């Protein structure tokens, strides 16, 4: 059966990734910081017949990433999804935008966002590249955001947007460097989704966003490697 690894799998988009891929019979490696507090994820895993396993992963701890790789040594991963992300130490729905505005930037929150949104995806990819390389599909994705678009900046969101623009650069570069190994690398835009980060006024539900992203993932190939694609299948301006 095909396999997928998802970071930030305990809630929001990550949990929906797990739910949908598990329902389709995939082998799912679900990663989160505190499995004991992930009731919804534990419920899915418990009903999966062993196809969904939960793995402790702290993205700000390189040792935790190394431990994950050691635990999965030799296991092929067809699709690697760097889904975990943060708006900052203060969430968007909790007024965090003011903490990212010119003149009132909270720099510790910016550093935290870079660690999670930009550096961690590269660390995870470096640690698990062997697993992806030995799989059949050989695909790597990072959930980014149109807020990281330099061509069409939304205004404000300086910390969050800059970390997403930076991870887009990372993914674009890896697409070139890993192409000769047959590995497809892409950035994904999930849309504005009703999650803890997106808030209750967002127009998209997680199920709708992930259903769209799954189509993008399924259609991804070396012909589309390096692209930035939205949940609706449209290319997002860099």
Q: Which residue from 53, 21, 217, 61 is spatially nearest to 138, judged by alpha carbons?
A: 217
Rounded CA gap, 6 and 98, in Å? Answer: 30
Q: Which residue from 3, 51, 18 is spatially nearest to 206, judged by alpha carbons?
A: 18
Specify the range with the lowest mean pLDDT, choosing from 72-81, 105-114, 169-178, 184-193.
105-114
Tell me what pLDDT residue 232 has.
Answer: 97
Q: What is the pLDDT of residues 146-160, one digit of tens each?
A: 989 999 877 768 889
Asked whether the beta carbons of 82 and 142 are under 8 A apart, the reply is yes
Residues 6+ apart with CB under 8 A from 230: 146, 188, 189, 190, 191, 212, 216, 236
Asked whether the beta carbons of 30 and 42 are under 8 A apart, the reply is no
Residues 6+ apart with CB under 8 A from 179: 222, 225
CA-to-CA separations, 122 to 63, 185, 206, 216, 237, in angstroms, rounded: 14, 12, 25, 21, 22
Asked whether the beta carbons of 45 and 19 are under 8 A apart, the reply is no
Main-chain phi, psi angles of 70, to 5 degrees: -65, -40
Specify the range with the lowest mean pLDDT, choosing from 7-11, 144-148, 191-195.
191-195
Asked whether the beta carbons of 46 and 53 are under 8 A apart, the reply is no
3-state secondary structure of 184: strand
**Structure token digits, residue 112:** 């935290």
Main-chain phi, psi angles of 50, to 5 degrees: 90, 0
Average pLDDT over residues 131-135: 98
Superfamily (CATH) of domain 3-230: NAD(P)-binding Rossmann-like Domain (3.40.50.720)
Q: How is residue 152 annotated by DSSP? A: S
If one compares 235 and 88, the residue with the highest pLDDT of the two is 235
Asked whether the beta carbons of 128 and 77 are under 8 A apart, the reply is yes
Asked whether the beta carbons of 188 and 216 are under 8 A apart, the reply is yes
Q: What is the pLDDT of residues 8-60, one digit of tens each?
A: 999 999 999 999 999 999 999 999 999 999 999 999 999 999 999 999 999 99
């Amino acid at each position: 059966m095909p396999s997928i690894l998802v970071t930030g799998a305990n809630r929001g988009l990550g949990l929906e990734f797990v739910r949908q891929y598990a329902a389709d019979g995939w082998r799912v490696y679900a990663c989160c910081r505190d499995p004991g507090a992930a009731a919804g994820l534990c419920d899915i895993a418990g009903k999966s017949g062993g196809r969904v396993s939960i793995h402790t992963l702290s993205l700000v701890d390189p040792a935790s990433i190394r431990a994950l790789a050691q635990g999965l040594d030799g296991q092929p991963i067809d699709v690697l999804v760097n889904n975990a992300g943060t708006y900052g130490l203060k969430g968007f729905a909790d007024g965090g935008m003011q903490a990212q505005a010119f003149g009132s930037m909270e720099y510790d929150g910016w550093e935290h966002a870079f660690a999670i949104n930009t550096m961690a995806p590269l660390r995870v990819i470096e640690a698990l590249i062997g697993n992806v390389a030995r799989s059949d599909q050989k695909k790597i994705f990072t959930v980014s955001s149109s807020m990281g678009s330099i061509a069409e900046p939304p205004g404000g969101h300086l910390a969050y947007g800059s970390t997403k623009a930076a991870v887009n650069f990372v993914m674009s570069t890896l697409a070139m460097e890993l192409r000769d190994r047959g590995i497809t690398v892409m950035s994904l835009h999930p849309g504005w989704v009703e999650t803890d980060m997106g808030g209750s006024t967002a127009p998209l539900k997680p199920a709708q966003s992930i259903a769209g992203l799954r189509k993008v993932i399924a259609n991804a190939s070396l012909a589309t490697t390096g692209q930035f694609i939205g949940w609706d299948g449209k290319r997002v301006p860099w």
